[in-house]
Amino acid sequence: MQNDFFSTDEFSARQKSGLQQAINHAFNNSPFYRRVFEQAGLEPADIKNPADFSRVPFTTKNDLREAYPYGMAAVPLDKILRIHASSGTTGKPIVAGYTRSDLDTWAIGVARICEMAGVSAKDIAQISFGYGLFTGGFGLHYGLEQLGATVVPFSSGNTERQLTLMQDFKTNVLVSTPSFAIYMAETARELGYNPREFGLRIGLFGGEPCSDALRKDIEAQWGLKATVNYGLTEVVGPGISGECLETAGMHILEDLYYPEVIDPDTGELLPDGEKGELVLTPMFKEGFPVLRYRTGDITRLIPEKCACGRTTRRMDYITGRSDDMIIIKGVNIFPSQVEEVLAGFKEVSPHYRLVLKKEKGFIKDLEIQIELTEEGFTDSYKELEALDGRIRQRLRSTLSLAPKVKLMEPKSLERTTGKAKRIVED
């Protein structure tokens, strides 16, 4: 795609007009941003070039949550063709609405990401992301169609059947979370297949972080080239950045999404190469525009040119979060969600700990350690197990994930005077 090879001047020109367009659209059509500008004493005319752009206030996850469901809309709802949503901290999801133009831009972006990863119109791609409100399934689906590849929209689950169809359909591209790719390879072996004989050529992985060890393991097990890509529903969905075959960072589609890296504590802009929180502005979003969205993801922009020849800047792999969100099996989890559930049980104390059970660098399971209170302890196993079961069930429906619950003695979890260490790795 030629846009990936623009000169620095071309990018600057595109970003200048793109940001202008984004600001004008938000100011003129989004009551939310009209308010933001007025409160900051800003007018679109004050922002003449990207250097002025840092005067625009950040948009946070909390802003989007409070705007539930349609508060971020900048077009009449009849122009919205599709709604997606991501899980939020308090049960209320973050909603994104797409116009026809938004869907087209999104699909073209995802197609570029797939092409960078080496996928072509000749390939047959199986999508094992869940389809639904989560942007992963539909995002990759339309992007791959846009590219001209053959799409097998399997969605998640039913691993044995996935494996059968992969062989029958001669699928050579797999789209999934990294952990699911490993799980499928293990299942294939249990069924007596050799995953390397499936003929998978390329993996497009996303939805959760992928460590080096995990990537090597996937490649060894399947005999494929593993690539990772990045995106988030609040900005558009998947297709914001992705790896080329050099697999040395993820090229950002800079002509569509304007990246900045800031110091998460002060909000100051950081120069390329320095690690901080990624801030993104989709420049051509009509439906639910966002300006300077604080992603919470810690990364850096890589200043060096990529060996592949593309001129889009790359972002490094996500090394952490500025908030305490964790991603497990593609599901976003905030400790505050756990806190809320526990507050509903008098049998346990509000002290808890999330233990991330890691295997080969990825989070395989979540264990939640909870302290019993005097009221919660009885001499009966049946009752303790029933309590365990009730807590687990509430957590499952709140988190959309089934954690393991471990009951502990009172005061057995470490107390600190400052910020409690709620999350530990095992």
Partner 1 sequence: MIKQISVFLENKSGRLIRVAQALGENDINIRGLSIADTSDFGILRMIVDQPDKAIEVLKGSGIMATVTEVIAMEVPDTPGGLAEVLTYMEEAGINIEYLYSFIEKPTTHAIIMMRVERINDALEVLKKNNVPIVGGDRIYSF
Which residues form the interface with partner 1 (CB under 8 A)? 372, 374, 377-382, 384-385, 406-412
Secondary structure (H, E, C), the chain: CHHHHCCHHHHHHHHHHHHHHHHHHHHHHCHHHHHHHHHHCCCHHHCCCHHHHHHCCCECHHHHHHCCCCCCCCCCHHHCCEEEEECCCCCCCEEEEECHHHHHHHHHHHHHHHHHCCCCCCCEEEECCCCCCCHHHHHHHHHHHHHCCEEECCCCCCHHHHHHHHHHCCCCEEEECHHHHHHHHHHHHHCCCCHHHHCCCEEEECCCCCCHHHHHHHHHHHCCEEEEEEEECCCCEEEEEEECCCCCCEEECCCCEEEEEECCCCCCECCCCCCEEEEEEECCCCCCCCCCEEEEEEECEECCCCCCCCCCCEECCCCEECCCCEEECCEEECHHHHHHHHHCCCCEEEEEEEEEEEECCEEEEEEEEEEECCCCCCCCHHHHHHHHHHHHHHHHHHHCCCCEEEEECCCCCCCCCCCCCCEEEC
* CB nearer partner 1, residue 168 or residue 379: 379
Q: What is the total residue count of the chain?
A: 426
* CB nearer partner 1, residue 189 or residue 406: 406
* CB nearer partner 1, residue 286 or residue 347: 347
* Residue 191 C-beta: closest distance to partner 1, Å: 29
* CB nearer partner 1, residue 51 or residue 424: 424
* Residue 379 C-beta: closest distance to partner 1, Å: 4
* CB nearer partner 1, residue 118 or residue 410: 410
* CB nearer partner 1, residue 28 or residue 412: 412
* Residue 333 C-beta: closest distance to partner 1, Å: 21
CB 131 within 8 A of CB 207: no
Task: Give the residue carrying structure tokens 């790896």.
Answer: 243
* Residue 392 C-beta: closest distance to partner 1, Å: 12
* Residue 257 C-beta: closest distance to partner 1, Å: 46
* CB nearer partner 1, residue 123 or residue 347: 347
What residue type is assigned to position 69 of the chain? P
* Residue 351 C-beta: closest distance to partner 1, Å: 14
Parallel, antiparallel, or unpaired for β 320-321 and 293-299? antiparallel
* CB nearer partner 1, residue 122 or residue 382: 382
CB 372 within 8 A of CB 410: yes
* Residue 236 C-beta: closest distance to partner 1, Å: 43
* Residue 408 C-beta: closest distance to partner 1, Å: 6
* Residue 170 C-beta: closest distance to partner 1, Å: 44
* Residue 370 C-beta: closest distance to partner 1, Å: 11
Q: Please name which of 245, 246, 247, 196 lies closest in space to residue 224, comparing C-alpha atoms.
A: 196
* CB nearer partner 1, residue 165 or residue 384: 384
* CB nearer partner 1, residue 359 or residue 375: 375
Q: Which two tokens stand for residue 205?
A: 């992985």
